[in-house]
């Protein structure tokens, strides 16, 4: 999902404090206390006038909005199923505990990455609503302004810049579940930002197999977007990634 607009992206200066927890009817929400002064379910209600919500684009699953408030400009996203699973339930997932919810897991991963200074949106708040054996979830993220997806920027985007962002993510032990040409954004300065960490994982030492899997998934996406041109662009990125790996080995 491209969460773009205008002025310049910012990682929000300074590390975020430890997240706060608030219990709500049927669930809970986790939030960044430095950004959220009035935590509550209203943060995830696109109909609430305080958010001044605007739908993100016309495609997708119609489950994301640009919003704004005292926490700044942000993107509100509700977790929705796609494909065959959506026939069973559009927005409910199997309950396996609060920390296993899609929203809390993604919030925690982004909080970890943002704390390391990696180029990802700062998480603002996440929530779940539990009922029986299932739950619904939503997340609120910093909006990366004036960015465009890599899929639209192959003529000007630097393969070295994108490789550097991916390599830094991998060095932190993070595996991206869907690294594609639309989940990498470029700002006006050419900096690469990584988004959509739903189902992502962090491990103390990320295996070479998982790293390669991410890169090959991106290659498939680039070929789908731009055929031979996408493949050539990926070849440059892959070479840059390999150089970074060899450089790190000698440090």
Is there a catalytic annotation at residue 146? Answer: no
Cα(236)–Cα(11) distance, integer angstroms = 27
C-alpha distance from residue 195 to each of 40, 42, 106 (Å): 25, 24, 11
- Per the residue annotation, which of 178, 187, 198, 235 is the catalytic one? 178
Q: What are phi and psi of 127, to 5 degrees?
A: -145, 160
SS (H, E, C) the chain: CCCCCCCCCCCCCCCCCCCEEEEECCEEEEECCCCCCCCCHHHHCCCCHHHCCEECCCCCCCCEEEEEECCEEEEEEECCCCCCHHHHCCCCEECCCHHHCHHHHHHHHHHHHHHCCCCCCCEEEEEEEEECCEEEEEEEEECCCCCEEHHHCCCCCCHHHHHHHHHHHHHCCEECCCCCCCCEEECCCCCEEECCCCCCEECCCCCHHHHHHHHHHHHHHHHHHHHHHHHHHHHHHHHHHHHHHHHHHCC
Burial class (CB in 10 A: 0-12, 13-18, 19+), 128: buried
Would you please indicate which residues are annotated as catalytic (active-site) residues? 178
């Amino acid at each position: 999902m491209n969460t773009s607009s205008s002025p310049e992206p910012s990682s929000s200066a300074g590390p975020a404090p430890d997240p706060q927890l608030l219990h709500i009817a049927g669930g809970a929400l986790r939030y960044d206390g430095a950004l959220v002064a009035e935590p509550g379910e209203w943060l995830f209600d696109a109909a609430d006038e305080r958010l001044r919500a605007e739908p993100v684009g016309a495609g997708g699953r119609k489950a994301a909005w640009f919003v704004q408030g005292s926490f700044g400009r942000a993107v509100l996203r509700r977790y929705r199923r796609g494909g065959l699973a959506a026939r069973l339930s559009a927005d409910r997932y199997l309950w396996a505990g609060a920390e296993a919810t899609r929203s809390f897991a993604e919030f925690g991963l982004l909080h970890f990455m943002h704390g390391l200074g990696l180029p990802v949106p700062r998480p603002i708040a996440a929530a779940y609503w539990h009922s029986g054996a299932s739950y619904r979830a939503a997340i609120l993220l910093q909006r990366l302004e004036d960015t465009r997806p890599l899929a639209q920027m192959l003529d000007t985007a630097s393969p070295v810049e994108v490789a550097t962002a991916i390599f830094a993510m991998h060095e932190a032990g993070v595996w991206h579940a869907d690294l594609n040409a639309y989940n990498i954004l470029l700002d006006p300065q050419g900096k690469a930002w990584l988004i959509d960490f739903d189902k992502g994982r962090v491990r103390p030492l990320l295996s070479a197999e998982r790293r390669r899997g991410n890169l090959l998934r991106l290659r498939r996406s680039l070929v789908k977007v731009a055929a031979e041109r996408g493949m050539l662009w990926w070849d440059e990125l892959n070479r840059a990634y390999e150089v970074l790996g060899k450089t790190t080995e000698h440090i």
